[in-house]
Amino acid sequence: MGDLVKIQDLYVWFRVYGGYMKVLNGVNFSVGKGEKVSIVGETGCGKTTTMKTILRILSSQAHIPKGEVLFEEKDILKMKEGEIKRLRGRGVAMIFQDPMASLNPVFTIGDQLAAVISHSGVQDLDKEKIRQLSINALKEVKLPDPERILGSYPFQMSGGMRQRICIAMALATERALIIADEPTTNLDVTIQDQILALLRELVTKRGNSLILITHSLGIARENADRIYVMYAGNMVEVSNNEELFCNPLHPYTEMLLGCVPKLSGGGIAEGIAGRIPDYLNPPPGCRFEPRCPYATDRCREEKPDFVDVGNGHKVACFKYN
Partner 1 sequence: MSENRIILEVKGLKKYFPIHKGDKTLFVKAIDGIDFEVREGETVGLVGESGSGKSTTAYCVIGMYSVTSGTILFKGKDISCASSQRPLELKRDMQIVFQDPGTSLNPQHTIYKIIELPLKVHGLAKGREMRERIVQLLESVELPESYLYKYPRMIGGGERQMVAIARALATNPSFMILDEPTSSLDVSVQAKIINMLIKLQKEFNLSYLFITHDLSLMRNVATRVVIMYLGKIAEMAPTEIFFQSPQHPYTQMLLSSIPVVTKEEEELKPKKIKSQGEIPSPVNVPPGCSFNTRCPLAKPECFEKDPVMVQVGPDHFVRCNLFA
Question: Minimum CB separation from partner 1 for residue 189, in Å?
Answer: 5
Q: Determine if 216 is a binding residue for Mg ion (CB under 5 A).
A: no
Are the beta carbons of 304 and 321 closer than 8 angstroms? yes
The amino acid sitting at 33 is K
Q: Determine if 59 is a binding residue for ligand ATP (CB under 6 A).
A: yes
What are φ and ψ of residue 215, in 5° steps?
-85, -15
**% helix, strand, coil for the chain, step of 5:** 40, 25, 40
Q: Determine if 286 is a binding residue for ligand SF4 (CB under 6 A).
A: yes
Question: Minimum CB separation from ligand SF4 for residue 318, in Å?
Answer: 4
Q: Which of residues 247-286 bind partner 1 (CB under 8 A)?
A: 255-272, 275
The amino acid sitting at 243 is E
Q: Determine if 67 is a binding residue for ligand ATP (CB under 6 A).
A: no
Task: Tell me the CA end-to-end span of the chain in Å, nearest whole number.
Answer: 28
Give the one residue of 8, 48, 108, 118 binding Mg ion; rule: CB under 5 A. 48
The conformation of residue 249, written as its DSSP 8-state character, comes to -
Identity of the residue, 231 or 318, whose beta carbon is nearer to ligand ATP in the bound complex: 231
Give the one residue of 16, 197, 204, 294 binding ligand SF4; rule: CB under 6 A. 294
Give the one residue of 46, 154, 251, 277 binding ligand ATP; rule: CB under 6 A. 46
Identity of the residue, 142 or 215, whose beta carbon is nearer to ligand ATP in the bound complex: 215
Identity of the residue, 29 or 279, whose beta carbon is nearer to ligand ATP in the bound complex: 279
Beta bridge partners of 95: 180
Q: Which stretches of the chain are DSSP H helices?
A: 47-55, 81-86, 99-102, 109-118, 127-140, 146-150, 159-171, 189-206, 217-223, 241-246, 251-259, 297-301
**Binding residues for ligand ATP, per CB under 6 A?**
14, 16, 21, 23, 41, 43-49, 59, 61, 215, 279
User: Which residue ranges make up the site for ligand SF4 (CB under 6 A)?
Assistant: 251, 286, 288-289, 292, 294-295, 299, 304, 317-319
